[in-house]
Amino acid sequence: MINTNNSFKALIVTLLLFIGFNLNAQDKNKKISFYVKGNCEMCKSRIEKASLKLKGVKYVSWNIQSKELNLIMDENKCKVIDIKKTIAAVGHDTDETVADLKIYEALPECCKYRDPNSIHMDHGKSH
């Protein structure tokens, strides 16, 4: 006769291990996007370079018109909030982080996205 009590315990342990593994599994190629403020090609370069410096960020593209940052990341190596904090550290606000005023003020004039008049400036790469 089979001991159903031991079989039941084994099934429970197996299920718990499986559930625990799935809860801890994080995506190695997670695609995310979020809003980042900026104006021009220089902003694009600054935002993308800062993001790519983080271990786990595999691909980055910031759209000047939509202000949307699209990226592919490994959640085992970094978190979305870490990326947003890194972007804020180089002077750009995100949907969750705000750049320090001193850092923002050090940006080139055409990159000062908080000034509504900056959008009318020359936004060439040659600044």
pTM, rounded to two decimals: 0.75
pLDDT of residue 47: 98
Which band of pLDDT confidence, cut at 50, 70 and 90, is reported for residue 126? very low
pLDDT for 54-86, tens place per residue?
A: 999 999 999 999 999 999 999 999 999 999 999
The answer to whether the CB of 87 falls within 8 A of the CB of 45 is no
Structural domains for the chain: 30-120 (3.30.70.100)
Has residue 14 got a pLDDT over 90? no
More confident residue, 9 or 38: 38
Three-class DSSP labels, the chain: CCCHHHHHHHHHHHHHHHHHHHHHCCCCCEEEEEEECCCCHHHHHHHHHHHHCCCCEEEEEECCCCCEEEEEECCCCCCHHHHHHHHHHCCCCECCCCCCHHHHHCCCHHHCCCCHHHHHCCCCCCC
Which band of pLDDT confidence, cut at 50, 70 and 90, is reported for residue 28? confident
Strand 57-62 to strand 68-73: parallel, antiparallel, or no bridges (unpaired)? antiparallel
- The arithmetic mean of pLDDT across residues 96-102, rounded, is 97
pLDDT of residue 9: 78
pLDDT of residue 127: 43
